[in-house]
Protein backbone atom coordinates (compact mmCIF):
# COMPACT_ATOMS: atom_id res chain seq x y z
CA UNK A 1 0.00 0.00 0.00
CA UNK A 2 1.30 3.46 -0.72
CA UNK A 3 0.45 6.19 1.71
CA UNK A 4 0.98 9.17 -0.56
CA UNK A 5 -0.50 7.96 -3.84
CA UNK A 6 -0.88 11.40 -5.43
CA UNK A 7 2.74 12.36 -5.14
CA UNK A 8 5.16 11.52 -7.89
CA UNK A 9 8.85 10.74 -7.79
CA UNK A 10 11.65 13.17 -7.07
CA UNK A 11 11.20 15.25 -10.21
CA UNK A 12 13.13 12.66 -12.20
CA UNK A 13 10.71 13.00 -15.13
CA UNK A 14 11.25 16.73 -15.43
CA UNK A 15 15.00 16.16 -15.30
CA UNK A 16 14.66 13.69 -18.16
CA UNK A 17 12.59 16.18 -20.15
CA UNK A 18 15.23 18.88 -19.66
CA UNK A 19 17.99 16.47 -20.58
CA UNK A 20 16.33 15.42 -23.79
CA UNK A 21 15.54 19.03 -24.74
CA UNK A 22 19.19 19.94 -24.26
CA UNK A 23 20.35 16.91 -26.18
CA UNK A 24 18.10 17.52 -29.17
CA UNK A 25 18.47 21.29 -29.60
CA UNK A 26 21.80 21.88 -31.18
CA UNK A 27 23.66 24.68 -29.42
CA UNK A 28 26.97 23.65 -30.77
CA UNK A 29 26.65 24.59 -34.37
CA UNK A 30 28.85 27.41 -35.48
CA UNK A 31 27.75 30.79 -34.25
CA UNK A 32 25.38 29.54 -31.55
CA UNK A 33 25.93 29.85 -27.86
CA UNK A 34 24.22 28.12 -24.98
CA UNK A 35 24.77 30.13 -21.82
CA UNK A 36 23.65 28.81 -18.46
CA UNK A 37 23.20 31.23 -15.58
CA UNK A 38 23.29 29.91 -12.06
CA UNK A 39 23.79 31.08 -8.48
CA UNK A 40 22.31 30.45 -5.07
CA UNK A 41 18.91 31.85 -4.15
CA UNK A 42 18.64 35.63 -4.51
CA UNK A 43 22.05 35.84 -6.20
CA UNK A 44 20.47 37.83 -9.02
CA UNK A 45 19.83 35.26 -11.80
CA UNK A 46 16.42 36.47 -12.91
CA UNK A 47 17.44 40.13 -12.94
CA UNK A 48 20.60 39.19 -14.83
CA UNK A 49 18.83 37.21 -17.56
CA UNK A 50 16.13 39.87 -17.96
CA UNK A 51 18.60 42.72 -18.27
CA UNK A 52 20.95 40.71 -20.49
CA UNK A 53 18.18 39.74 -22.90
CA UNK A 54 16.88 43.31 -22.93
CA UNK A 55 20.35 44.60 -23.75
CA UNK A 56 20.74 42.11 -26.60
CA UNK A 57 17.38 43.20 -28.01
CA UNK A 58 18.27 46.91 -27.97
CA UNK A 59 22.04 47.28 -28.14
CA UNK A 60 22.11 47.73 -31.89
CA UNK A 61 20.13 50.99 -31.79
CA UNK A 62 21.53 52.33 -28.53
CA UNK A 63 24.54 54.61 -28.10
CA UNK A 64 27.71 52.54 -27.85
CA UNK A 65 28.26 53.46 -24.20
CA UNK A 66 24.93 51.91 -23.20
CA UNK A 67 26.37 48.45 -23.88
CA UNK A 68 29.96 48.91 -25.01
CA UNK A 69 30.88 45.33 -25.81
CA UNK A 70 28.37 44.20 -28.39
CA UNK A 71 30.28 42.39 -31.10
CA UNK A 72 27.49 42.37 -33.68
CA UNK A 73 26.49 46.03 -33.46
CA UNK A 74 27.25 46.89 -37.09
CA UNK A 75 25.74 43.76 -38.52
CA UNK A 76 22.48 43.16 -36.67
CA UNK A 77 19.42 43.42 -38.86
CA UNK A 78 16.82 42.03 -36.47
CA UNK A 79 16.62 40.48 -33.04
CA UNK A 80 13.81 38.34 -31.73
CA UNK A 81 13.02 36.07 -28.83
CA UNK A 82 11.97 32.47 -29.09
CA UNK A 83 11.14 29.71 -26.66
CA UNK A 84 13.73 27.01 -26.21
CA UNK A 85 12.14 23.85 -27.53
CA UNK A 86 11.20 21.49 -24.72
CA UNK A 87 12.21 23.81 -21.85
CA UNK A 88 10.06 25.94 -19.54
CA UNK A 89 9.92 29.50 -20.85
CA UNK A 90 11.88 32.27 -19.14
CA UNK A 91 9.22 35.00 -18.77
CA UNK A 92 11.29 37.89 -20.11
CA UNK A 93 8.42 40.21 -21.02
CA UNK A 94 6.74 39.85 -17.62
CA UNK A 95 9.96 40.40 -15.69
CA UNK A 96 10.91 43.41 -17.77
CA UNK A 97 7.44 44.93 -17.35
CA UNK A 98 7.89 44.77 -13.56
CA UNK A 99 11.32 46.36 -13.70
CA UNK A 100 10.08 49.34 -15.70
CA UNK A 101 6.66 49.60 -14.01
CA UNK A 102 5.66 52.57 -11.90
CA UNK A 103 6.76 51.93 -9.22
CA UNK A 104 9.35 49.41 -10.47
CA UNK A 105 9.60 46.00 -8.81
CA UNK A 106 12.28 43.33 -8.53
CA UNK A 107 11.20 39.84 -9.61
CA UNK A 108 9.71 37.33 -7.18
CA UNK A 109 11.85 34.27 -6.33
CA UNK A 110 11.79 31.60 -9.02
CA UNK A 111 12.24 27.86 -8.97
CA UNK A 112 13.61 25.33 -11.36
CA UNK A 113 15.08 25.77 -14.81
CA UNK A 114 13.86 28.02 -17.60
CA UNK A 115 15.27 29.34 -20.83
CA UNK A 116 14.92 31.80 -23.65
CA UNK A 117 16.54 32.08 -27.08
CA UNK A 118 17.73 35.38 -28.52
CA UNK A 119 17.89 35.06 -32.28
CA UNK A 120 19.99 37.61 -34.10
CA UNK A 121 19.77 38.03 -37.86
CA UNK A 122 23.09 39.34 -39.11
CA UNK A 123 24.28 40.79 -42.35
CA UNK A 124 27.27 38.86 -43.66
CA UNK A 125 30.62 40.15 -42.52
CA UNK A 126 32.42 41.98 -45.32
CA UNK A 127 35.08 39.48 -46.24
CA UNK A 128 37.03 38.98 -49.39
CA UNK A 129 36.88 35.26 -49.23
CA UNK A 130 33.21 34.43 -49.54
CA UNK A 131 33.75 30.94 -48.16
CA UNK A 132 34.43 32.60 -44.80
CA UNK A 133 31.02 34.21 -44.68
CA UNK A 134 29.78 33.99 -41.13
CA UNK A 135 26.37 32.53 -40.34
CA UNK A 136 23.50 34.92 -40.80
CA UNK A 137 21.52 33.64 -37.89
CA UNK A 138 22.98 33.54 -34.45
CA UNK A 139 21.33 31.94 -31.43
CA UNK A 140 22.10 32.91 -27.87
CA UNK A 141 20.30 30.46 -25.65
CA UNK A 142 20.06 31.61 -22.04
CA UNK A 143 19.19 29.14 -19.31
CA UNK A 144 18.48 30.09 -15.69
CA UNK A 145 18.83 27.26 -13.16
CA UNK A 146 19.17 27.11 -9.35
CA UNK A 147 22.66 26.93 -7.90
CA UNK A 148 21.16 24.80 -5.13
CA UNK A 149 21.25 21.91 -7.62
CA UNK A 150 25.03 22.20 -7.52
CA UNK A 151 25.22 22.12 -3.73
CA UNK A 152 24.65 18.39 -3.82
CA UNK A 153 27.91 17.47 -5.50
CA UNK A 154 29.52 16.25 -2.23
CA UNK A 155 26.75 13.65 -1.86
CA UNK A 156 28.17 11.79 -4.82
CA UNK A 157 31.24 10.82 -2.83
CA UNK A 158 29.58 10.19 0.55
CA UNK A 159 27.43 7.28 1.63
CA UNK A 160 24.40 7.93 3.80
CA UNK A 161 26.25 7.31 7.03
CA UNK A 162 29.14 9.62 6.14
CA UNK A 163 26.83 12.34 4.92
CA UNK A 164 24.69 12.06 8.07
CA UNK A 165 27.73 12.38 10.32
CA UNK A 166 28.92 15.49 8.48
CA UNK A 167 25.52 17.15 8.52
CA UNK A 168 24.92 16.35 12.20
CA UNK A 169 28.25 17.89 13.10
CA UNK A 170 27.47 20.98 11.07
CA UNK A 171 24.00 21.23 12.63
CA UNK A 172 25.60 21.52 16.06
CA UNK A 173 27.85 24.44 15.14
CA UNK A 174 27.37 28.22 14.98
CA UNK A 175 23.90 29.61 14.25
CA UNK A 176 22.72 26.19 13.16
CA UNK A 177 22.86 24.83 16.70
CA UNK A 178 19.94 27.02 17.75
CA UNK A 179 17.92 26.16 14.62
CA UNK A 180 18.39 22.40 14.52
CA UNK A 181 16.95 21.50 17.93
CA UNK A 182 13.51 20.59 16.53
CA UNK A 183 14.38 17.90 14.02
CA UNK A 184 17.33 16.65 16.05
CA UNK A 185 15.08 15.97 19.05
CA UNK A 186 12.52 14.19 16.85
CA UNK A 187 15.23 12.15 15.16
CA UNK A 188 16.62 11.18 18.57
CA UNK A 189 13.29 9.64 19.43
CA UNK A 190 13.15 7.55 16.22
CA UNK A 191 14.18 3.92 16.46
CA UNK A 192 16.36 3.11 13.44
CA UNK A 193 15.73 -0.63 13.67
CA UNK A 194 11.93 -0.48 14.09
CA UNK A 195 9.70 -1.25 11.09
CA UNK A 196 9.22 1.71 8.71
CA UNK A 197 6.92 4.39 10.17
CA UNK A 198 6.04 6.52 7.13
CA UNK A 199 4.25 9.14 9.19
CA UNK A 200 7.17 9.66 11.56
CA UNK A 201 9.59 9.83 8.63
CA UNK A 202 7.42 12.42 6.87
CA UNK A 203 7.12 14.47 10.03
CA UNK A 204 10.85 14.49 10.79
CA UNK A 205 11.65 15.02 7.11
CA UNK A 206 9.35 18.04 7.12
CA UNK A 207 11.07 19.36 10.25
CA UNK A 208 14.42 18.96 8.53
CA UNK A 209 13.23 20.92 5.48
CA UNK A 210 11.98 23.66 7.83
CA UNK A 211 15.39 23.72 9.45
CA UNK A 212 17.09 24.15 6.06
CA UNK A 213 14.75 27.01 5.21
CA UNK A 214 15.32 28.72 8.53
CA UNK A 215 19.07 28.41 8.03
CA UNK A 216 18.67 30.08 4.68
CA UNK A 217 16.57 32.86 6.17
CA UNK A 218 19.38 33.39 8.67
CA UNK A 219 21.80 33.96 5.78
CA UNK A 220 23.40 30.51 5.62
CA UNK A 221 24.11 28.95 2.23
CA UNK A 222 25.74 25.53 2.63
CA UNK A 223 22.52 23.55 2.81
CA UNK A 224 21.96 19.97 1.73
CA UNK A 225 20.11 18.45 0.01
CA UNK A 226 19.86 21.56 -2.13
CA UNK A 227 16.71 20.41 -3.91
CA UNK A 228 14.76 20.20 -0.66
CA UNK A 229 14.87 24.00 -0.41
CA UNK A 230 12.48 24.39 -3.31
CA UNK A 231 9.85 22.80 -1.07
CA UNK A 232 8.47 20.56 -3.78
CA UNK A 233 9.99 17.26 -2.68
CA UNK A 234 7.27 14.65 -2.11
CA UNK A 235 6.97 13.50 1.49
CA UNK A 236 7.85 9.93 0.64
CA UNK A 237 11.19 11.03 -0.80
CA UNK A 238 12.34 13.08 2.18
CA UNK A 239 15.29 12.00 4.27
CA UNK A 240 17.39 13.66 6.94
CA UNK A 241 20.79 13.10 8.57
CA UNK A 242 20.52 10.07 10.84
CA UNK A 243 23.85 8.49 11.57
CA UNK A 244 22.22 6.05 13.99
CA UNK A 245 20.78 4.33 10.92
CA UNK A 246 24.15 2.61 10.48
CA UNK A 247 23.66 -0.92 9.22
CA UNK A 248 19.85 -0.84 9.56
CA UNK A 249 18.09 -3.44 7.48
CA UNK A 250 15.67 -2.93 4.61
CA UNK A 251 12.13 -2.16 5.74
CA UNK A 252 13.29 -0.45 8.95
CA UNK A 253 13.26 3.32 9.51
CA UNK A 254 17.03 3.45 9.06
CA UNK A 255 16.92 1.24 5.97
CA UNK A 256 14.24 3.35 4.33
CA UNK A 257 16.17 6.57 4.93
CA UNK A 258 19.31 5.07 3.41
CA UNK A 259 17.29 3.92 0.40
CA UNK A 260 15.80 7.39 -0.12
CA UNK A 261 19.25 8.91 0.14
CA UNK A 262 20.49 6.58 -2.59
CA UNK A 263 17.52 7.44 -4.81
CA UNK A 264 18.32 11.13 -4.38
CA UNK A 265 21.98 10.52 -5.17
CA UNK A 266 20.91 8.85 -8.39
CA UNK A 267 19.00 11.98 -9.34
CA UNK A 268 22.02 14.15 -8.57
CA UNK A 269 24.22 11.91 -10.68
CA UNK A 270 21.74 12.05 -13.54
CA UNK A 271 21.66 15.82 -13.33
CA UNK A 272 25.42 16.05 -13.68
CA UNK A 273 25.67 13.57 -16.49
CA UNK A 274 22.58 14.52 -18.50
CA UNK A 275 22.15 18.24 -17.90
CA UNK A 276 25.18 19.91 -16.37
CA UNK A 277 27.63 18.37 -18.81
CA UNK A 278 25.67 19.93 -21.68
CA UNK A 279 26.00 23.45 -20.28
CA UNK A 280 29.41 24.40 -21.49
CA UNK A 281 29.29 28.11 -21.03
CA UNK A 282 28.19 29.11 -17.59
CA UNK A 283 27.82 32.23 -15.51
CA UNK A 284 27.97 31.72 -11.75
CA UNK A 285 26.50 34.67 -9.86
CA UNK A 286 27.55 35.24 -6.25
CA UNK A 287 26.04 37.83 -3.93
CA UNK A 288 29.05 38.51 -1.73
CA UNK A 289 27.82 41.85 -0.50
CA UNK A 290 24.69 40.64 1.28
CA UNK A 291 26.79 37.96 3.00
CA UNK A 292 29.37 40.54 4.08
CA UNK A 293 26.65 42.64 5.58
CA UNK A 294 25.32 39.63 7.49
CA UNK A 295 28.67 38.92 9.09
CA UNK A 296 31.44 36.41 9.32
CA UNK A 297 29.45 33.21 9.72
CA UNK A 298 27.22 33.96 6.72
CA UNK A 299 30.22 34.89 4.67
CA UNK A 300 32.16 31.74 5.60
CA UNK A 301 29.09 29.65 4.80
CA UNK A 302 28.68 31.33 1.41
CA UNK A 303 32.37 30.65 0.75
CA UNK A 304 31.91 26.96 1.50
CA UNK A 305 28.78 26.78 -0.67
CA UNK A 306 30.38 28.67 -3.54
CA UNK A 307 33.44 26.46 -3.56
CA UNK A 308 31.14 23.45 -3.60
CA UNK A 309 29.23 24.90 -6.54
CA UNK A 310 32.33 25.59 -8.60
CA UNK A 311 33.97 22.28 -7.73
CA UNK A 312 31.58 20.78 -10.22
CA UNK A 313 33.44 22.67 -12.93
CA UNK A 314 36.69 21.15 -11.76
CA UNK A 315 35.10 17.74 -11.78
CA UNK A 316 34.17 18.32 -15.38
CA UNK A 317 37.78 17.87 -16.20
CA UNK A 318 38.87 15.69 -13.30
CA UNK A 319 37.60 12.77 -11.18
CA UNK A 320 33.91 12.85 -12.13
CA UNK A 321 34.70 12.93 -15.80
CA UNK A 322 35.95 9.38 -15.42
CA UNK A 323 32.67 8.23 -13.88
CA UNK A 324 30.15 10.40 -15.68
CA UNK A 325 29.92 10.95 -19.41
CA UNK A 326 30.20 14.71 -19.02
CA UNK A 327 31.53 17.16 -21.50
CA UNK A 328 34.12 19.82 -21.37
CA UNK A 329 33.74 23.37 -20.17
CA UNK A 330 34.22 26.11 -22.73
CA UNK A 331 33.79 29.29 -20.69
CA UNK A 332 33.08 30.04 -17.05
CA UNK A 333 32.25 33.54 -15.93
CA UNK A 334 32.43 34.05 -12.16
CA UNK A 335 30.50 37.12 -11.22
CA UNK A 336 30.00 39.15 -8.03
CA UNK A 337 26.54 40.73 -8.39
CA UNK A 338 24.83 43.89 -7.10
CA UNK A 339 28.00 45.94 -7.47
CA UNK A 340 25.86 49.08 -7.54
CA UNK A 341 25.62 48.67 -3.76
CA UNK A 342 29.19 49.95 -3.47
CA UNK A 343 31.22 52.78 -4.96
CA UNK A 344 33.17 52.25 -8.17
CA UNK A 345 36.52 52.53 -6.37
CA UNK A 346 35.65 49.30 -4.52
CA UNK A 347 34.93 47.09 -7.52
CA UNK A 348 38.49 45.76 -7.67
CA UNK A 349 38.30 44.75 -4.04
CA UNK A 350 35.02 42.98 -4.67
CA UNK A 351 36.64 40.97 -7.47
CA UNK A 352 39.62 40.26 -5.18
CA UNK A 353 37.27 38.98 -2.53
CA UNK A 354 35.57 36.65 -4.99
CA UNK A 355 38.94 35.38 -6.17
CA UNK A 356 39.99 34.70 -2.59
CA UNK A 357 36.72 32.92 -1.94
CA UNK A 358 37.24 30.60 -4.91
CA UNK A 359 40.85 30.01 -3.92
CA UNK A 360 44.08 30.32 -5.84
CA UNK A 361 44.27 26.63 -6.88
CA UNK A 362 40.85 26.87 -8.53
CA UNK A 363 41.72 30.12 -10.26
CA UNK A 364 45.02 28.76 -11.54
CA UNK A 365 43.49 25.53 -12.77
CA UNK A 366 40.75 27.39 -14.65
CA UNK A 367 42.62 30.50 -15.70
CA UNK A 368 42.37 29.75 -19.38
CA UNK A 369 38.62 29.51 -19.70
CA UNK A 370 37.33 31.59 -16.82
CA UNK A 371 36.88 35.26 -16.01
CA UNK A 372 36.08 37.17 -12.82
CA UNK A 373 33.86 40.23 -12.81
CA UNK A 374 31.90 42.54 -10.54
CA UNK A 375 28.61 43.64 -12.12
CA UNK A 376 25.22 45.18 -11.53
CA UNK A 377 22.64 43.77 -13.92
CA UNK A 378 20.39 46.71 -13.14
CA UNK A 379 22.02 49.70 -11.59
CA UNK A 380 19.77 51.01 -8.82
CA UNK A 381 22.11 53.68 -7.50
CA UNK A 382 24.15 56.65 -8.62
CA UNK A 383 27.43 57.71 -7.17
CA UNK A 384 27.93 61.02 -5.40
CA UNK A 385 31.02 62.76 -4.12
CA UNK A 386 30.67 64.92 -0.99
CA UNK A 387 33.30 67.06 0.62
CA UNK A 388 33.64 66.43 4.30
CA UNK A 389 36.28 68.24 6.36
CA UNK A 390 38.27 68.87 3.21
CA UNK A 391 38.11 65.23 2.11
CA UNK A 392 36.22 63.97 -0.96
CA UNK A 393 34.00 61.06 0.12
CA UNK A 394 32.12 58.70 -2.17
CA UNK A 395 28.49 57.84 -1.49
CA UNK A 396 25.95 55.68 -3.28
CA UNK A 397 22.53 57.21 -3.68
CA UNK A 398 19.36 55.21 -4.17
CA UNK A 399 15.85 54.60 -2.89
CA UNK A 400 15.84 51.82 -0.26
CA UNK A 401 13.34 49.02 -0.93
CA UNK A 402 9.93 49.99 0.39
CA UNK A 403 10.73 53.68 0.79
CA UNK A 404 10.00 56.64 -1.45
CA UNK A 405 12.90 58.99 -0.78
CA UNK A 406 16.47 58.53 -1.87
CA UNK A 407 19.21 58.19 0.71
CA UNK A 408 22.97 58.52 0.43
CA UNK A 409 25.03 55.85 2.13
CA UNK A 410 28.69 55.02 2.57
CA UNK A 411 28.81 51.27 2.08
CA UNK A 412 32.11 50.86 3.95
CA UNK A 413 35.40 49.56 2.69
CA UNK A 414 35.16 46.22 0.94
CA UNK A 415 38.11 44.00 1.88
CA UNK A 416 40.15 42.84 -1.12
CA UNK A 417 40.52 39.42 0.46
CA UNK A 418 38.74 37.46 3.14
CA UNK A 419 39.49 39.12 6.48
CA UNK A 420 40.98 36.87 9.12
CA UNK A 421 39.04 36.17 12.27
CA UNK A 422 40.58 39.01 14.27
CA UNK A 423 40.15 41.75 11.69
CA UNK A 424 36.45 41.10 10.91
CA UNK A 425 35.43 43.41 13.70
CA UNK A 426 37.33 46.31 12.12
CA UNK A 427 35.13 46.24 9.02
CA UNK A 428 31.86 48.09 9.23
CA UNK A 429 29.51 47.68 6.28
CA UNK A 430 26.41 49.57 5.38
CA UNK A 431 25.10 47.63 2.40
CA UNK A 432 21.48 48.42 1.75
CA UNK A 433 18.88 46.94 -0.55
CA UNK A 434 17.67 49.45 -3.09
CA UNK A 435 14.54 49.56 -5.20
CA UNK A 436 15.03 49.34 -8.97
CA UNK A 437 15.63 52.69 -10.69
CA UNK A 438 12.55 54.49 -12.04
CA UNK A 439 13.04 54.07 -15.75
CA UNK A 440 9.49 54.14 -17.07
CA UNK A 441 8.10 52.09 -19.92
CA UNK A 442 8.78 51.67 -22.76
CA UNK A 443 12.48 51.68 -22.09
CA UNK A 444 13.98 50.75 -25.43
CA UNK A 445 17.66 50.79 -24.67
CA UNK A 446 19.81 48.62 -22.38
CA UNK A 447 18.91 49.12 -18.72
CA UNK A 448 21.54 50.99 -16.70
CA UNK A 449 24.12 48.44 -15.56
CA UNK A 450 27.72 47.93 -14.51
CA UNK A 451 29.86 45.61 -16.65
CA UNK A 452 26.97 43.54 -17.96
CA UNK A 453 28.45 43.72 -21.45
CA UNK A 454 31.74 42.35 -20.12
CA UNK A 455 29.98 39.15 -19.12
CA UNK A 456 29.00 38.70 -22.77
CA UNK A 457 32.57 39.41 -23.78
CA UNK A 458 33.98 36.84 -21.36
CA UNK A 459 31.48 34.21 -22.49
CA UNK A 460 32.02 34.41 -26.21
CA UNK A 461 35.74 35.23 -26.15
N1 LIG B 1 20.77 46.85 -6.60
C2 LIG B 1 20.67 45.70 -7.26
N3 LIG B 1 19.95 44.70 -6.72
C4 LIG B 1 19.87 43.55 -7.42
C5 LIG B 1 20.48 43.36 -8.69
N6 LIG B 1 20.22 42.12 -9.11
C7 LIG B 1 19.46 41.55 -8.15
N8 LIG B 1 19.23 42.41 -7.13
C9 LIG B 1 18.51 42.17 -5.86
O10 LIG B 1 18.57 40.79 -5.59
C11 LIG B 1 17.27 40.24 -5.49
C12 LIG B 1 17.24 38.87 -6.11
O13 LIG B 1 17.40 38.95 -7.51
P14 LIG B 1 16.85 37.80 -8.47
O15 LIG B 1 17.33 38.09 -9.84
O16 LIG B 1 15.41 37.57 -8.27
O17 LIG B 1 17.67 36.57 -7.87
P18 LIG B 1 17.55 35.02 -8.28
O19 LIG B 1 18.94 34.49 -8.23
O20 LIG B 1 16.78 34.85 -9.52
O21 LIG B 1 16.75 34.50 -7.00
P22 LIG B 1 15.81 33.15 -6.91
O23 LIG B 1 14.89 33.17 -8.07
O24 LIG B 1 15.15 33.33 -5.60
O25 LIG B 1 16.78 32.00 -6.93
C26 LIG B 1 16.36 41.25 -6.20
O27 LIG B 1 15.09 41.20 -5.63
C28 LIG B 1 17.06 42.55 -5.91
O29 LIG B 1 16.72 43.03 -4.64
C30 LIG B 1 21.25 44.45 -9.22
O31 LIG B 1 21.84 44.39 -10.31
N32 LIG B 1 21.30 45.60 -8.46
MG1 LIG C 1 15.08 33.86 -9.94
Burial code of 91-128, b = ≥16 C-beta within 10 A, e = fewer? bbeebbeebbeeebebbeebeebbbbbbbbebeeeeee
Return all residues near 4 (Cβ < 8 A) that are at least 6 apart.
198, 202, 234, 235, 236
Residue ranges of the chain whose pLDDT lies below 70: 1-12, 25-30, 127-135, 315-327
User: E strands of 198-344, at which residues?
Assistant: 281-286, 331-336
Long-range Cβ contacts of 42-45 (<8 Å, 24+ apart): 42/109, 42/287, 42/290, 43/147, 43/285, 43/286, 43/287, 43/337, 44/285, 44/287, 44/337, 44/338, 44/377, 45/110, 45/144, 45/285
- In this structure, the answer to whether residues 304 and 393 fall within a common structural domain is no
Rg (CA), the chain: 24
Residue 395 lies in a domain: yes
- In this structure, the answer to whether residues 285 and 139 fall within a common structural domain is yes
Residue 435 lies in a domain: no
Residue 7 lies in a domain: no
- In this structure, the answer to whether residues 318 and 449 fall within a common structural domain is yes
- In this structure, the answer to whether residues 179 and 290 fall within a common structural domain is no
CB under 6 Å to ligand 1: residues? 39, 41-47, 106-107, 109-110, 146, 337-338, 340-341, 376-378, 380, 433-434
What residue owns the CA closest to ligand 1's atom 4?
338
Residue 21 lies in a domain: yes
For residue 109, the CA-to-ligand 2 centroid distance in Å is 5
Q: Which of 48, 98, 106, 455 to mutate to test the pocket of ligand 1 (most atoms within 8 A of CB)?
A: 106
Q: What is the pLDDT of residue 369?
A: 84
What residue owns the CA closest to ligand 1's atom 25?
41
- In this structure, the answer to whether residues 25 and 117 fall within a common structural domain is yes
- In this structure, the answer to whether residues 294 and 387 fall within a common structural domain is no
What residue owns the CA closest to ligand 1's atom 3?
338
For residue 341, the CA-to-ligand 1 centroid distance in Å is 12
Q: Which of 257, 275, 293 is the last residue of a domain?
A: 275
Counting every residue written for the chain, the total comes to 461
Q: Which of 38, 46, 340 to mutate to test the pocket of ligand 1 (most atoms within 8 A of CB)?
A: 46
Q: Which helix (H) or strand (E) holds 206?
A: helix 198-217
Q: Quickly count: other Cβ atoms within 10 Å of residue 321's Cβ.
A: 15
For residue 239, the CA-to-ligand 1 centroid distance in Å is 30
- The number of domains in the chain is 3
What residue owns the CA closest to ligand 1's atom 24?
109
Residue 5 lies in a domain: no
What is the pTM assigned to this prediction?
A: 0.94
Residue 2 lies in a domain: no
Shortest-distance atom of ligand 1 to CA 41: 25
Q: Which of 220, 248, 275 is the last residue of a domain?
A: 275
CA distance 22 to 83: 13
At 373, give phi and psi (nearest 5°): -145, 155
Angle between the N-to-C axes of helices 45-58 and 92-99, in degrees from 0 to 180, rounded to the nearest 10: 90
- In this structure, the answer to whether residues 176 and 252 fall within a common structural domain is yes
- In this structure, the answer to whether residues 235 and 329 fall within a common structural domain is no
Residue 120 lies in a domain: yes
- In this structure, the answer to whether residues 27 and 128 fall within a common structural domain is yes
> What angle (nearest 5°) sits at the alpha carbon of residue 377, between those of residues 457 and 337?
90
- In this structure, the answer to whether residues 21 and 70 fall within a common structural domain is yes
For residue 98, the CA-to-ligand 2 centroid distance in Å is 14
- In this structure, the answer to whether residues 164 and 246 fall within a common structural domain is yes
Q: What is the pLDDT of residue 136?
A: 85
Shortest-distance atom of ligand 1 to CA 48: 15
For residue 365, the domain's CATH number is: 3.40.50.300
Domain that residue 257 falls in: 159-275
CB 307 within 8 A of CB 359: yes
Q: Note the pLDDT tens digit of each residue in 261-318.
A: 999 999 999 998 889 988 889 999 999 999 999 999 999 999 999 999 998 888 655 5
Closest CA to 355 of 347, 330, 461: 347
Which residues share a beta bridge with 332?
282, 370
Q: What is the pLDDT of residue 8?
A: 37
- In this structure, the answer to whether residues 353 and 452 fall within a common structural domain is yes
For residue 433, the CA-to-ligand 1 centroid distance in Å is 10
Return all residues near 341 (Cβ < 8 A) that are at least 6 apart.
289, 376, 381, 396, 411, 431, 432, 434
Residue 310 lies in a domain: yes
From the CA of 42, which ligand is nearest? 1
For residue 106, the CA-to-ligand 1 centroid distance in Å is 7
Amino acid sequence: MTLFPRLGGLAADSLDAIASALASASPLSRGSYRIAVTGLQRAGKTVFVTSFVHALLHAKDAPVEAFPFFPWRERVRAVELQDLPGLPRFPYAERLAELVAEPPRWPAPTEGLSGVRVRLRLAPAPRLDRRLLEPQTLHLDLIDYPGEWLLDLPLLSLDYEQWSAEMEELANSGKRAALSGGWQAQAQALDPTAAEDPFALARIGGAYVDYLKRCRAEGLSYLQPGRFLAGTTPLESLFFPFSRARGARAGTNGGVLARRYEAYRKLVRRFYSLVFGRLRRQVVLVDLLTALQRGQESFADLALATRTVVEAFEELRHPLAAVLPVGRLDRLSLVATKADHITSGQLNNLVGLLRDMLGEPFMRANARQSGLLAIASVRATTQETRLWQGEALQFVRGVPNGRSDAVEVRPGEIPGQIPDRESWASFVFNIREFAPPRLGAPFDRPLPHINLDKVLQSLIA
